[in-house]
A and B are shown apart, each in its own frame.
Chain A
Amino acid sequence: RKEVEQDPGPFNVPEGATVAFNCTYSNSASQSFFWYRQDCRKEPKLLMSVYSSGNEDGRFTAQLNRASQYISLLIRDSKLSDSATYLCAARGYNKLIFGAGTRLAVHP
């Protein structure tokens, strides 16, 4: 079993839709969590850090459930420009452990 697992993609949604990505992690010692966005053939760019209380940044909301070892990302009012791969990462000690990513395609 991989240490960080994400929903398989791709997610194909119309503009304006709400879409949710889930991510589970197996190492209960993981200390912090992140969502990165990666466009095709580009580097991952930090989208959000994930805090225990949940956090929101505009149309994006991240939640952490330590008891279930589960992280989520909700995107509201999807835009064409949201099309990308979304990577979930857990920080264990000093390195990031990434999931394989979930691809999102937003269509008109």
Chain B
Amino acid sequence: DTGVSQDPRHKITKRGQNVTFRCDPISEHNRLYWYRQTLGQGPEFLTYFQNEAQLEKSRLLSDRFSAERPKGSFSTLEIQRTEQGDSAMYLCASSLGAGQETQYFGPGTRLLVL
């Protein structure tokens, strides 16, 4: 399977714990995006990378959230001191860049904070 992959697919944690999610984009895709989706809503943009550079962050991305893409390939999204309001599906997408902007989504990581 050469699509976007995410790990883990599901995560249950207690309030106050830290969690980290991983995304592996489609090979050779330069751009990688993180979105969050809650029930009954469309995905909301969090942040995006062009290669290893984080070029934009949404104001939804509080200081408890940090994302990295150290070698321009996979990315991690960490949430520190989780809150119940962080419960959502975290979606990763990638695109080729350079004018080819169609974004392809991974299966998501479903987070439940108790």
Tally of contacts, chain A with chain B, CB under 8 A:
51
B13-21, B68-76, B80-88, B100-108 - the one binding chain A: B100-108
Contact status B40-A43, CB under 8 Å: no
B91 contacts A by Cβ under 8 Å:
yes
**Known contacts A34-B102, A43-B91, A46-B102; A98/B42 CB under 8 A:** yes
Contact status A32-B105, CB under 8 Å: no
How many residues of chain A are within 8 Å of chain B by beta carbon? 23
Q: Which among B40, B45, B107 is the interface contact of A100 at CB below 8 angstroms?
A: B40
**Min distance, Cβ A85 to any Cβ of chain B, angstroms:** 9
Instruction: Report chain A residues within 8 Å CB of B31.
Output: 94
Interface residues of B in 18-44 (CB under 8 A from A): 31, 33, 35, 40-44
**Min distance, Cβ B100 to any Cβ of chain A, angstroms:** 11
> What would 5 more interface pairs be, CB under 8 Å, given A43-B108, A49-B102, A94-B31?
A43-B105, A93-B56, A95-B48, A95-B56, A96-B33
